[in-house]
């Protein structure tokens, strides 16, 4: 399901521009507009789920696909040391209520000594 009021639905639907990294059957990844680390990429389900708990509950197949895309990108872009994190709920810092994982790393692969 696509929610036209949701910016991440609009990015997944290619109505809004984003710096895309990769996509799979059920997920799409793009650079965060305001990166907090040298690597900061978001990975989202193409369908609208408000957070990772809802995605897990409703669509485990989509969750698996998203985790595979996220970890493949993290290993491809980083030194191998990375975080894949899901802020869930306002108190935890979630500001966009379409499930998304933050792939962050301090060390891009091409900067490993």
Considering the rule CB under 6 A, would residue 34 count as an interface residue with ligand 5GP?
Answer: yes
Give the one residue of 1, 4, 95, 113 binding ligand 5GP; rule: CB under 6 A. Answer: 95
Chain positions contacting Zn ion, by CB under 5 A = 3, 6, 8-9, 48, 98
Active-site residue flag, 100: yes
Spatial distance between the Cα atoms of 110 and 94, rounded to a whole number of angstroms: 31
DSSP secondary structure letter of residue 85: E
State in angstroms the smallest separation of the CB of 6 from Zn ion: 3
Are the C-beta atoms of 103 and 73 separated by less than 8 Å? yes
Residue showing tokens 């935890």: 92
Give the one residue of 18, 28, 43, 103 binding ligand 5GP; rule: CB under 6 A. Answer: 18
């Amino acid at each position: 399901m696509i929610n036209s009021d949701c910016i991440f639905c609009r990015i997944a639907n290619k109505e809004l521009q984003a710096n895309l990294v990769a996509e799979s059957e059920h997920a799409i990844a793009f650079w965060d507009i305001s990166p907090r680390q040298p690597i900061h990429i978001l990975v989202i389900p193409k369908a609208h789920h408000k957070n990772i708990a809802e995605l897990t509950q409703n669509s485990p197949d989509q969750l698996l696909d998203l985790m595979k895309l996220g970890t493949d990108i993290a290993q491809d872009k980083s030194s191998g040391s990375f975080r894949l994190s899901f802020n869930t709920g306002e108190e935890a810092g979630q500001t966009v209520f379409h499930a998304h994982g933050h792939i962050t790393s301090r060390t891009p692969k091409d900067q490993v000594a």
